[in-house]
Amino acid sequence: MHLPIKIAVTHGHPIVAAGLQALLNDSAGVTLCGDDAHIVITDRQRGMALLAAPALASRRVLVVAEHDGVWEARQAIAAGIHGYVLHSASREQLLAALRALHQGEGYVAPGLLPPLEAGGSLPLTSRERDVLTLIAQGCGNKAIARTLEIGLGTVKSHNKQLYAKLGAKTRTQAMLLARRQGLIADK
């Protein structure tokens, strides 16, 4: 017989927290508890704060988010969030996420993130690869626009998409992550 998964719900939206608690109260294999929880179900902001609390390091964090933004999900997972599902998740999907986290695995709601490439990054378009290559060569946005014969705004748009797909906030961080993922060669 398996021991129940101990869950704490600390979601910042009271109606969502109440709904999650009601859903889990009727679910076999889980127990709602407080301080000795295996998994904390919360919102993105609180989840990120939990990661920074050393006393809570042994707990797994499942974010239940309202929006399906790739950027937000990518950032949360990159920061160490263990699981990510949406408010629209079914009971079965929520329980699947909890089981995965309890077994030490990660979980991202199906369809939330595009399939990962072999290197672990989101798929890049050929134009995004061109921009990434030129950034790696030290080109600025204006030089990239001239080289690729596209507008400066288009370059900035490609940069934004690259950063989101790589989970980066800056050009330097994007380059480091791209090198780690084998998308560009080390110098």
- Enclosing domain of residue 60: 5-108
Indicate if 20 and 53 belong to the same structural domain.
yes
According to the model, what pLDDT value does residue 13 have?
93
- Residue 141 included in any domain: yes
Write the CB contacts of 11 (distance below 8 Å, at least 6 apart in sequence).
Answer: 17, 20, 41, 42, 43, 46, 64
163: domain CATH number is 1.10.10.10
Q: What is the pTM of this model?
A: 0.62
Indicate if 17 and 65 belong to the same structural domain.
yes
Count up the domains in the chain and report the number: 2
Digit-by-digit pLDDT tens for the chain (187 residues) are 467 899 999 999 999 999 999 999 988 889 998 778 999 999 988 888 887 777 666 789 999 998 766 667 777 877 778 889 998 889 999 999 999 889 888 888 876 765 444 444 556 778 888 898 899 888 999 999 999 999 998 899 888 888 877 777 788 888 887 777 677 765 5
Cβ distance 34 to 6 under 8 Å? Answer: no
Whole-Å CA distances, 6 to 50, 66, 84, 102: 17, 24, 18, 9
Indicate if 81 and 9 belong to the same structural domain.
yes
Question: What sign has the CA pseudo-torsion 58, 59, 61, 62?
Answer: positive
Cβ distance 142 to 132 under 8 Å? Answer: no
Q: Which helix (H) or strand (E) holds 108?
A: strand 107-108
Q: What angle do CA 57, 163, 138 make, to 5 degrees?
A: 120
- Residue 187 included in any domain: no
Indicate if 24 and 92 belong to the same structural domain.
yes
Indicate if 93 and 175 belong to the same structural domain.
no
According to the model, what pLDDT value does residue 39 have?
94
- Residue 157 included in any domain: yes
Which token pair is 32? 């709602």
29: domain CATH number is 3.40.50.2300
- Residue 84 included in any domain: yes
Whole-Å CA distances, 177 to 15, 80, 103, 108: 38, 15, 28, 20
